[in-house]
């Protein structure tokens, strides 16, 4: 039976883990810590989705060495946790282990083996010092874009509100046999799967829509519908999105949709609470670098000015620093 490890049993990791465990088509376990680890050991994972409640065993540990090499590791942690993951994930990786990166924003492997103006560029904002890239070589990676919303009201309990979409793809481009195996496993668990031939574009497109909504919601405490309803904020979002689209065009991820078209889609989601707002309210570290900082860094590399994104980055970084949710700048650095 396929051995699967969920690394990070929070909202998205818990959602995927619960569905896989309930489907019974693989041996699924989890790496977790603290109260989440205790809850999983005591009662397994609980998933509430509308009127449906799924309860499934999800054996968990905080020591990857006890599990050994896996067939598939589903990496579902927030960006700030990546350095710690890089230090401990080694025992889970065999020669053929696949690592599905179900994470927000620009991943550390985005430019590995890729041509163009950012060929093999390491993003200092995402992977300072190259720790993640060294620990998880790109050959292991399968990219993933999550189109689902979930929250964790208490450890080991996931509330799924909308969406079951997962887009997966090989960083090298063409579909593969191993990609099809992962797709089949996730489809059996009830996800709507798309196998992409251009996962870089899919990642950038989601980021293009999220890089403003997430930090603005965290800054203001407002749900997505209220952000979009304010004409001044909506235009600010549009201006930043135009900058991100210009950056994307330079790296082969051209977004042709207009910001207003994306806003119309966002309105349909109603009073949703973006993940960065949920993290801010819960006092968790904010995932700023992969969502906002990386776009600024790439823009600088390809010669695209991003004044609105820069302003947003400065605001959300200071917001996080004042609340202890984002690290203070090193002396001499912004």
Token pair recorded at residue 318? 């200071």
| Dist CA 12 CA 7 (whole Å) | 11
CA 231 to chain CA centroid, Å, is: 28
Structure-token match 């980021």, residue found: 207
Q: How far apart are CA 254 and CA 238, in angstroms?
A: 16
The count of C-alpha atoms lying within 13 angstroms of the C-alpha of 194, restricted to the half-sphere facing its C-beta, is 13
CA atoms of 136 and 78, how far apart (whole Å): 16
Q: Which two tokens stand for residue 116?
A: 């163009």
The CB-side HSE value for 77 (13 A sphere, CA atoms) comes to 23
Q: Token pair for residue 216?
A: 């603005």
Closest CA to 78 of 60, 58, 101, 48: 101
Phi, psi for residue 144 in degrees, rounded to 5: -150, 135
Angle, helices 199-210 vs 213-220, to 10°: value is 30
Annotated active-site residue in 3, 78, 206, 296: 206
DSSP bridge pairs for 195: 168
> Which of helix, strand or coil describes residue 280?
helix
Task: For residue 173, give Cα distances in angstroms to 7, 168, 299.
Answer: 25, 11, 23
Q: Encoding tokens for residue 219?
A: 């800054």
Instruction: Please state whether beta strands 45-49 and 157-169 pair in parallel, antiparallel, or not at all (unpaired).
Output: parallel
Answer for the pair 30, 59: CB distance below 8 angstroms, yes or no.
yes
* 296 assigned to active site: no
List active site positions.
206
């Amino acid at each position: 039976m396929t051995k699967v490890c969920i690394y990070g049993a929070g909202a998205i990791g818990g959602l995927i883990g619960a569905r896989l465990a309930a489907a019974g088509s693989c041996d699924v376990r989890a790496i977790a810590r603290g109260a989440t680890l205790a809850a999983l050991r005591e009662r397994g994972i609980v998933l509430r989705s509308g009127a449906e409640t799924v309860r499934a065993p999800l054996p968990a540990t905080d020591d990857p060495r006890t599990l050994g090499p896996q067939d598939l590791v589903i990496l579902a942690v927030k960006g700030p946790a990546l350095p710690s993951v890089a230090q401990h994930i080694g025992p889970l990786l065999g020669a053929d282990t696949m690592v599905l990166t179900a994470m927000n924003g620009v991943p550390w492997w985005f430019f590995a083996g890729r041509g163009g103006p950012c060929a093999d560029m390491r993003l200092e904002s995402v992977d300072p010092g190259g720790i993640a890239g060294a620990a998880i070589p790109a050959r292991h990676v399968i990219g993933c874009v999550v189109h689902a919303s979930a929250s964790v009201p208490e450890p080991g309990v996931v509330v799924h509100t909308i969406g079951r979409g997962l887009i997966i793809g090989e960083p090298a481009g063409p579909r593969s046999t191993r990609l099809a195996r992962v797709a089949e496993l996730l489809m059996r668990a009830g996800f709507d799967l798309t196998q992409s031939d251009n996962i870089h574009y899919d990642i950038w497109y989601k980021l293009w829509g999220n890089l403003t909504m997430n930090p603005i919601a965290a800054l203001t405490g407002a749900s997505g519908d209220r952000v979009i309803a304010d004409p001044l904020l909506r235009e600010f979002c549009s201006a930043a999105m135009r900058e991100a689209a210009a950056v994307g065009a330079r790296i082969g991820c051209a977004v042709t949709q207009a910001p207003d078209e994306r806003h119309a889609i966002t309105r349909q989601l109603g009073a949703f609470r973006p993940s960065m707002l949920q993290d801010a309210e819960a006092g968790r570290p904010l995932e700023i670098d992969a969502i906002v900082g990386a776009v600024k860094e790439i823009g600088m590399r390809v010669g695209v000015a991003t004044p609105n994104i820069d302003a947003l980055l400065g605001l959300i970084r200071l917001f996080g620093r004042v609340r202890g949710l984002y690290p203070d700048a090193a002396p001499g650095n912004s």
